[in-house]
Amino acid sequence: MAGAFADSKGRYGYRRIKAVLKTGVSEKSVRGIMAEEGLVAHVPKRRRYSSYEGETTPAPANLVDRDFTAERPNGKRPADIHPGSRPGTGRACLSPPVDCFDGKTVAYTAGFSPNAEPANRMLEKAASTLPGNARPLVHSDRGCHCRWPGWLGLMERFGLTRSMSAKGCSPDNAAAEGFFGRMKTEAVHPEKWEEHTRNEVLALVDEYIRWHDRERIKQSLGWMSPVQYRQSQGMAA
């Protein structure tokens, strides 16, 4: 059990550890053994950042309406830009849209300033992954990055449909918020990213996203990672 916990870098709680071990032991027993051995998964910390800067442009309707499910890939892609750690000077900011089909990150950009540039690059990279005539619904909060002319122009250029959360309502963008929460809980805080250099943080971001998509198992996917699940369904990962 300690080995499975170490392999997850201390990121798995008792339910995922039980799934990894494929044991007939009850969740309660696994939880008890982990407690006895001091195997405690990281817990979330409070979020304080907000990119909301007022109503700069008219907001589109909330077409997602908190329904973060999708029957196929490329149907709904919640997106956001979020700060991570503060290596040296500046704040590392990450912008990854996620696919509601399985929670896989579609593409991402990372930088050290929460401005329009990483958000726009992310949208271009995400659009480049679309097959054929796929035109997903792109949902975001009311952050200024998703309301500036550059973002709006790219949305129109790629033929994407905008959807936006209500003002100051995190649950309206729970899929994107959830990804950031997991990353902070499982990697940013326990690995003390703020003590690393900028280049090291960028490498840690890449490592976490690869692990999240390829190895992090989810109960909703039959205890498979997003990539494993797509492969099991005969889909391109």
For the CA atoms of 189, 190, 193, 196, what is the dihedral angle to 10 degrees? 150
For residues 84 and 186, membership in a common domain is answered with yes
* Structural domain boundaries, residue 8: 2-36
For residues 208 and 130, membership in a common domain is answered with yes
As a whole number of angstroms, the distance between CA 155 and CA 152 comes to: 5
In a domain, 65, yes or no: no
As a whole number of angstroms, the distance between CA 107 and CA 118 comes to: 12
| Three-class secondary structure of residue 217 per DSSP | coil
In a domain, 52, yes or no: no
Per-residue confidence in pLDDT tens, the chain, 237 aa: 788 878 887 888 888 888 988 878 888 888 888 788 787 877 665 554 444 445 556 788 999 999 999 999 999 999 887 765 555 545 667 888 999 999 999 999 988 876 778 888 999 999 999 988 899 999 988 877 788 888 899 999 999 999 988 887 888 889 988 998 899 899 988 988 888 888 898 999 999 999 999 999 999 999 999 999 999 999 987
Residues 6+ apart with CB under 8 A from 9: 186, 187, 190, 191
**Tally of domains within the chain:** 2
pTM greater than 0.85 (yes/no): no
Are residues 143 and 80 in contact, defined by beta-carbon separation less than 8 angstroms?
yes
In a domain, 66, yes or no: no
Give which of 141, 120, 118 is closest to 51, Cα–Cα.
Answer: 141
Backbone angles phi, psi at 93, to 5 degrees: -115, 140
